[in-house]
Every structure is written in structure tokens, then in C-alpha cells.
């Protein structure tokens, strides 16, 4: 107990009675009897909601602080070495909520560089107490405890951070519902769309926020071919709803476009591209006199699992190459069950510019690097994360890694995502684990010559011939097996191909 300054006090530290002094202050020691709770009182206190909320909040703060010290030591390495471009860092899994659930989406936060989210399907052998779907927000500093956990009455197939509100999150579900979670509320959705009328009644496979901060919309796509545009403030009814149908050839019968993926060019709100279960890539117009499918692109022979538009790499290097932006902004990557990744020039050609066929299993996701124009990541059904640099090779990836904790089981990797600065790559597998990789400085700090080299490379490419056109004969004695050599988790097939095919059965 601090008693206070005393005039004429002796030298600091001098004792006086039962107290000590320091710097002109006296301290008096005292004891107070501490009462010990019995078991019943303790259980009553620990079970009180206010105590549980306090305990969860304070232990999360302590764990985050301790984890950040460990993460800062491991995760901030910039130069990995001349031969190492990518290195495994950590895995994120929560035994009670996520273990055994396929990861269906992974995205980094646009608001906080340390945060990312992952959405999950139901377990294959779910207990009665298991929630069908969930979405967790993770901090890179904590690998076994999420920052926040949200639940859904249906499996969550895709999820996103709200572009302007850090506490809000959107999700698309297997039942066809579009949900909104709020970190300031309980774990369940605070808003959901009705499963009737102009909205979705089939699994929502993809979503994207488009527009400006003052005029933004949420666009969602389901595997029965329905495209919906929602106001960001309400989900009771979409402002627009389009049922996409396409026909191959002038006399071809029209069919529903069973969408599995979609992508919007930068700053675009009307024109988008959709990847379908039958291998079709389609250009779609949402507004105007001619809505729906306006162009078909021929290239894939299996379900199109993902599409990703080139980010243009708008940085100081492009000030020296102004035409690079206009060249890159029509480039798109697509991945497919046909074991390939293809690069397209959407403005100028309806067939791919480049087909990368060295994969040995289904390619389930592909993403351009946010700052290096020639680099992208892809994940496959064998559990490999591939790092490609088109400036260096179009024959094979420059790095190829598996999660060490799951390498023996070869778990399929369903999704991947880059951090905003391009230093980290997150991948989600078919058993509920998200793995984090760090990149060498040469990956996330491109040189000016890297951008100019990629510009020259793209300018020299010619479109590939259409399917059925004469092609160079394959090497003698080289043939692919009918099925991949490693089996993809059944839930991956269900969430990508089987769900799309079931739309036709239900119709």
C-alpha cells in the first residue's frame, strides 16, 4: 500500500515501522484473508455467461500475443535461399469444429493482413451434434484457435469478407441460401436469403462483390444456372435474377449453364465470366439490352473448377510500361478436372493462349500472384501446391510442395488464396486443414524486367486450335491413365461436379 510522501524522509529505501520507503514514499505491507470457493460455487461462477465471455476474450488476447511473437520469428523471412522459392510454415485446424470437414473456400482479409477465413462443408460421418456448415476466421499467429467461428444450417460452399465492414461476412450454402454473419452478434447468420422466388434454390457455388464503396452489389451463382445480384444491405430478394442458358453452335439445343466458378474483370460490374460443369467458359452480361450468355470459349474437356482474372500488377514498374496494363487485364486463368490450367486472352480469342498439362490429377483451384505478373499458384487432387513462373518455364512448376502433416495421406487441396502482399499462400484440404506457405522475396518483389519479359511473352503467344482441329501427335508410348493415380476425396467431387450434375437430375 502506498502511504504517500513524507517530509524529511530519510534516504530512499529507509524502513519505518512495518513499511519500507523509496523515493520519498512509504509502503505499508498488509495481508487480507482470501476465501476459497467450494466446488459448487466455482462451477456456478465458471458457468456464468459473463465469466465465460470474459475468459474467452482474455485468453484469446494472451494466446494471440504469444503466437504473434512466434509467428514474427518464423514468418517474416524474406530470403529463403537461391533454390527455395516456397516454404511450409504452419497448419490451421480446430479439432471440434473443422477436423474432417472439407475446406470449400479460403480468403484473406482486405482489412487486416493477419486474418483469413475458411469455409467448410459437413463431415462425412457427422454426429447429431455437428452443425452442417461453418466458417472460421483465423489469425496467422494462432494455428489451433480461430479468432471467430460462425455456423450455418447448411454446408458453406463459399465465403467472403465484406469489402468495407470488417465485422461482416457473406456465405453461400448448399441449400441455396446466401447468409450474412456479424462478428458482433452470435455465431448464426444475422440475415439470410429466402429459398424461393427470384433467389437461389440450388447450391451457391460462387460469389463476388462488385462496384464501388458507395454503390456495391453482391453477385452469386448457383449450379442450376441462376445468377443473382443482391444489395449489400438486404438479402430478402435479389435486385436482378438471370437464368443462364447456352447453345453450342447455331443449331445446338440450349442447356442450363451449371456454373461452378466465376470471375469479374477489374472495375467491371456488367461483364463477367463463368466456368461450368460441362467444361464451358462463358461470357455473361448482367445488365443492358442483351443479358445472359453472350460468348462461349472452347478449351476445357472437364468441369471448370476456378477462374481468375489477372490483377494487372498496378505498381511503379508499370509507369515504364503503360501498355502492359491493357495487355494483362484481359488475361484469365482457368483450372479443370481435365488436369490442366489454361490462360486466355478474353478480348481477342475464344480459345486459350496457353495450356499447361503437366498436372497429374484434377486441378481444383488457380490464383494469379497479386504483384508478380508471371506467377500463379495452383492446387490439385494429389495434395500439391504448385508455384508457376511463366517467365521461367511453361513445362513445369518452379516449386511444388505438400503439407508435411498430410503428405502420407495425399489429401486433395480444394482451394488456395494469396495474401494481399503476396508473401503468403494459404491452401485448404479435404480434411479441414488450412496450410500456410511463405514465399521468397523474388516472388513478391518483381523486378521491372520481370514485367517487361512477361509482356513480351504474352505478345508472342498464338491461340490454340479448337477442339477437333488437327493437333501435333503426342509422344509415342505416352498415355494418361483413365483415372488419376490418387483418389480425390469424395466430398471434393460432390462439391464440384456431382452437385452440378444433380441440378439436371432434379430438373
| Lookup: cell for 57 | 476474450
Contact 451, 311 (CB under 8 A): no
Please report the pLDDT score of residue 416 as a whole number: 97
pLDDT band at 300 (very low <50, low <70, confident <90, very high): very high
* pLDDT exceeds cutoff 90 at 48: no
Instruction: Quickly list H helices, 109-162.
Output: none
The torsion angles phi and psi of 492, rounded to 5 degrees, stand at -65, -45
Name the residue with cell 460490374: 269
* pLDDT exceeds cutoff 80 at 76: no
* pLDDT exceeds cutoff 70 at 233: yes
Please report the pLDDT score of residue 67 as a whole number: 60
pLDDT band at 167 (very low <50, low <70, confident <90, very high): very high
| Lookup: cell for 198 | 427470384
The structure's pTM equals 0.79
d(CA 220, CA 200): 9
Q: Which residue has the higher pLDDT, 485 or 20?
A: 20
Ranking 18-22, 224-228, 262-266, 302-306 by mean pLDDT, the lowest is 18-22
pLDDT band at 79 (very low <50, low <70, confident <90, very high): low
**Span 337-347, pLDDT tens digits:** 999 999 999 99
Name the residue with cell 462488385: 210
d(CA 256, CA 261): 15
Q: Which residue has the higher pLDDT, 36 or 474?
A: 36
The torsion defined by the Cα of 475, 481, 483 and 489, in degrees rounded to 10, comes to -80
The torsion defined by the Cα of 380, 382, 387 and 392, in degrees rounded to 10, comes to -100
**Span 390-434, pLDDT tens digits:** 999 999 999 999 988 776 778 999 999 999 999 999 999 999 999
Please report the pLDDT score of residue 482 as a whole number: 41
Q: Which residue has the higher pLDDT, 21 or 426?
A: 426
pLDDT band at 479 (very low <50, low <70, confident <90, very high): very low
Please report the pLDDT score of residue 214 as a whole number: 83
Contact 350, 339 (CB under 8 A): no
| Average pLDDT estimate for 223-251 | 89
| Average pLDDT estimate for 375-399 | 96
Instruction: Provide the 10 A C-beta neighbour count for residue 446.
Output: 22
Contact 490, 124 (CB under 8 A): yes
pLDDT band at 478 (very low <50, low <70, confident <90, very high): very low
d(CA 342, CA 335): 7
| Average pLDDT estimate for 171-192 | 95
d(CA 191, CA 193): 7
Ranking 33-37, 51-55, 182-186 by mean pLDDT, the lowest is 51-55
DSSP character string of 390-454: TTT-SSS-SEEEE-TTTTTTTPPEEEEEE-TTSSEEEEEETTS-EEEEEE-HHHHS--HHHHHHH
pLDDT band at 494 (very low <50, low <70, confident <90, very high): low
The residues, any chain, with a CB within 8 Å of residue 132's CB and separated by 6 or more, are: 122, 126, 152, 153, 154, 155, 174
Please report the pLDDT score of residue 70 as a whole number: 55
**Span 104-144, pLDDT tens digits:** 999 999 999 999 999 999 998 888 889 999 999 999 988 88
d(CA 110, CA 435): 20
Distance of CA 123 to the CA centre of its chain: 20
* pLDDT exceeds cutoff 70 at 215: yes
Please report the pLDDT score of residue 481 as a whole number: 36
Compute the mean pLDDT over every residue in the chain, rounded to the nearest whole number: 82
pLDDT band at 74 (very low <50, low <70, confident <90, very high): low
Instruction: Provide the 10 A C-beta neighbour count for residue 190.
Output: 13
DSSP β-ladder status, 19-22 and 15-16 = antiparallel
The residues, any chain, with a CB within 8 Å of residue 56's CB and separated by 6 or more, are: none
Amino acid at each position: 500500500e502506498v502511504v504517500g510522501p513524507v517530509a524529511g524522509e530519510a534516504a530512499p529505501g529507509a524502513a519505518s515501522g512495518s513499511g519500507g520507503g523509496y523515493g520519498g514514499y512509504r509502503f505499508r505491507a498488509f495481508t487480507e484473508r482470501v476465501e476459497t470457493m467450494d466446488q459448487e460455487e466455482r462451477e456456478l461462477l465458471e458457468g456464468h455467461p459473463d465469466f465465460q465471455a470474459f475468459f474467452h476474450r482474455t485468453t484469446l488476447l494472451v494466446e494471440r500475443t504469444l503466437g504473434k511473437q512466434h509467428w514474427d520469428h518464423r514468418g517474416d523471412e524474406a530470403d529463403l535461399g537461391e533454390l527455395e522459392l516456397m516454404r511450409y510454415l504452419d497448419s490451421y485446424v480446430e479439432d471440434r469444429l473443422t477436423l474432417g470437414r472439407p475446406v470449400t473456400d479460403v480468403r484473406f482479409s482486405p482489412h487486416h493482413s493477419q486474418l483469413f477465413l475458411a469455409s467448410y462443408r459437413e463431415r462425412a460421418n457427422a454426429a447429431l451434434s455437428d452443425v452442417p456448415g461453418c466458417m472460421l476466421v483465423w489469425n496467422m499467429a494462432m494455428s489451433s484457435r480461430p479468432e471467430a467461428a460462425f455456423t450455418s444450417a447448411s454446408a458453406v460452399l463459399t465465403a467472403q469478407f465484406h469489402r468495407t465492414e470488417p465485422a461482416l461476412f457473406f456465405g453461400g450454402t448448399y441449400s441455396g441460401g446466401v447468409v450474412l454473419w456479424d462478428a458482433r452478434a452470435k455465431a448464426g447468420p444475422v440475415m439470410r436469403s429466402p429459398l424461393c422466388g427470384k433467389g437461389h434454390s440450388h447450391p451457391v457455388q460462387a460469389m463476388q462483390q462488385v462496384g464501388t464503396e458507395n454503390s456495391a452489389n453482391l453477385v452469386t451463382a448457383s449450379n442450376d444456372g441462376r445468377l443473382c445480384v443482391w444489395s449489400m444491405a438486404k438479402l430478402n430478394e435479389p435486385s436482378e435474377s438471370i437464368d443462364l442458358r447456352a447453345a453450342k453452335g447455331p443449331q445446338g439445343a440450349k442447356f442450363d449453364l451449371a456454373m461452378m466458378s466465376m470471375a469479374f474483370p477489374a472495375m467491371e460490374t456488367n461483364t463477367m465470366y463463368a466456368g461450368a460443369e460441362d467444361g464451358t467458359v462463358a461470357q455473361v452480361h448482367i445488365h443492358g439490352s442483351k443479358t445472359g450468355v453472350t460468348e462461349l470459349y472452347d478449351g476445357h474437356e472437364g468441369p471448370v473448377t476456378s477462374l481468375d482474372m489477372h490483377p494487372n500488377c498496378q505498381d511503379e514498374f508499370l509507369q515504364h510500361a503503360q501498355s502492359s496494363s491493357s495487355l494483362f487485364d484481359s488475361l484469365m486463368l482457368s483450372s479443370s478436372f481435365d488436369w490442366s490450367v489454361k490462360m486466355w486472352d478474353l478480348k481477342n480469342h475464344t480459345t486459350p493462349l496457353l495450356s499447361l498439362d503437366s498436372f497429374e490429377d484434377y486441378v481444383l483451384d488457380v490464383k494469379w500472384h497479386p504483384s508478380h505478373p508471371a506467377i500463379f499458384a495452383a492446387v490439385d487432387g494429389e495434395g500439391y501446391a504448385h508455384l508457376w513462373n511463366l517467365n521461367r518455364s511453361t513445362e513445369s512448376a518452379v516449386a511444388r510442395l505438400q503439407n508435411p502433416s498430410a503428405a502420407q495421406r495425399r489429401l486433395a487441396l480444394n482451394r488456395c488464396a494469396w495474401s494481399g502482399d503476396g508473401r503468403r499462400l494459404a491452401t485448404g484440404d479435404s480434411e479441414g486443414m488450412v496450410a500456410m506457405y511463405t514465399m521468397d522475396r523474388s516472388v513478391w518483389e518483381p523486378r521491372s524486367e520481370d514485367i517487361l519479359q512477361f509482356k513480351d511473352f504474352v505478345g508472342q503467344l498464338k491461340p490454340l486450335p479448337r477442339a477437333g482441329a488437327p493437333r501435333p501427335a503426342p509422344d509415342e508410348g505416352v498415355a494418361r491413365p483413365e483415372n488419376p493415380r490418387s483418389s480425390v476425396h469424395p466430398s471434393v467431387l460432390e462439391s464440384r461436379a456431382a452437385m452440378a450434375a444433380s441440378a439436371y437430375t432434379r430438373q
